[in-house]
Structures are given as structure tokens and as C-alpha cells.
Amino acid sequence: MKNFILPKLIALLCILIATSACKKEIIYQDKKPGQLEAIATVINTGSPALDGCGWLIKVGTVSYSPDNLPENFKESGINVKIEYTVSDADFVCGWGQKLKYMHLYDIKR
């Protein structure tokens, strides 16, 4: 009976190890109307208290203030693939610079 259970346990352990290595950062899984996809760059413009704009995500030539950027993606200059929506609300920072807020639904390197 032991010989029958051991191979199954080994196979189960191998499957668990293989699937645990495949992780991506998913913030929300529900797709929303108006959701966009892009390759973007995370940038740190400095503290808003010191006339910076904090962490931003640049899509093409447009920068957005993410309302939910995960800590493990706060690394200036990294390229990411994102799924997001843009808010109508303005984020005012720096010397009166107006940016739009961005809500991330998916982000990965």
C-alpha cells in the first residue's frame, strides 16, 4: 500500500512546486468598460511635499497618477504591461501640474 501512495504524493508535490512558481501581480480580475492596455514606464518624480508628483506611470508621452500602485512595482524606470482606466478627477502636484488619476486592474513586468 505504501508503494501505491508514494508516487502519487511525489507527483502532487511536483505539480504544487511548478504552479507556485507561476505568479503575476493581479490587482483586480473584473474587466471594466473603458479598460485600456498599454506598455508603460513607472517613474518617481519625488515627494509631493517637495513639489514632486510622487510615483507616476507614463504611457507614451502622458503621465498618470496611479491610485493603487503596488509597493513591489515602486522602482523608477521599470517597464510594465498594464490594464487600467483613467479617472476624470485631476491630481494637482508640483508647481500646479494637473494629471489624471489612473486605476490599475493588472500590472506585470
Q: Residues near 27 by Cβ (< 8 Å), separated by ≥ 6? A: 68, 70, 104, 105, 106, 107
Domain boundaries, the chain: 26-108
Copy the grid coordinates of residue 67.
491610485
Inter-CA distances, 101 with 37, 49, 56, 106, Å: 15, 18, 9, 15
Question: What kind of fold does domain 26-108 have according to CATH?
Answer: OB fold (Dihydrolipoamide Acetyltransferase, E2P) (2.40.50)
Question: What's the helix, strand, coil split of the chain in %, to 5?
Answer: 25, 45, 35
- For 41-99, what is each residue's pLDDT tens digit? 999 999 998 999 999 999 999 999 999 999 999 999 999 999 999 999 999 998 899 99
0.75 surpassed by pTM: no
